[in-house]
Amino acid sequence: MIIIDSNEMKRLLSQIYNKVSKDLFGAGTTLLKVTIDQNIITLQAKHPRASRSAALEGEVPSLKLEVDFHLSLLFKKKFRTQVEEQTGWNIEAILRDYDSFTQFAFTNIVLK
């Protein structure tokens, strides 16, 4: 499936991303860039540092990493559901990498 690279589509994906982010983390992004290349869509985001996250990192760093991992899995699940419902796309995979030290996240949507 090839998606047309349009400002409207990028805006919709940004809105979905920020809504899921706000629902899970209590805040949207401070930076969000969407690129579309045939059947792969990449979202580059920078998230604000949550005070709870900083406190946990200072006390129990290993627990913070585990929490980040599980939140990222939950984010992918919710994001995929919202994108499929609002676009009708058939998504093959959602790939996400989050760096807790810089709060950068890269999310790739691979369409069938």
Each residue's pLDDT tens digit, 22-47? 999 888 899 999 999 989 999 999 98
69 three-state secondary structure: helix
Domains in the chain, number? 1
**110, pLDDT greater than 80:** yes
- 1 occurs within a structural domain: no
More confidently predicted of 56 and 80: 80
- 89 occurs within a structural domain: yes
Range(s) of the domain holding residue 104? 7-111
CA distance 35 to 13: 10
Contact predicate 100/63, CB 8 Å: no
CA distance 42 to 10: 10
Contact predicate 48/40, CB 8 Å: no
For the record, the structure tokens of 34 come out as 């969407």
CA 93 to chain centre: 13
Residue closest to 9 by CA, chosen among 83, 81, 75: 83
- Residue tagged 């499936």 (tokens): 1
CA distance 111 to 2: 8
What is the value of pTM for the model shown?
0.86
CA distance 55 to 77: 26
Q: Tell me what pLDDT residue 51 has.
A: 60
CATH of residue 73's domain is 3.30.980
- 55 occurs within a structural domain: yes
Q: Tell me what pLDDT residue 53 has.
A: 67
- 53 occurs within a structural domain: yes
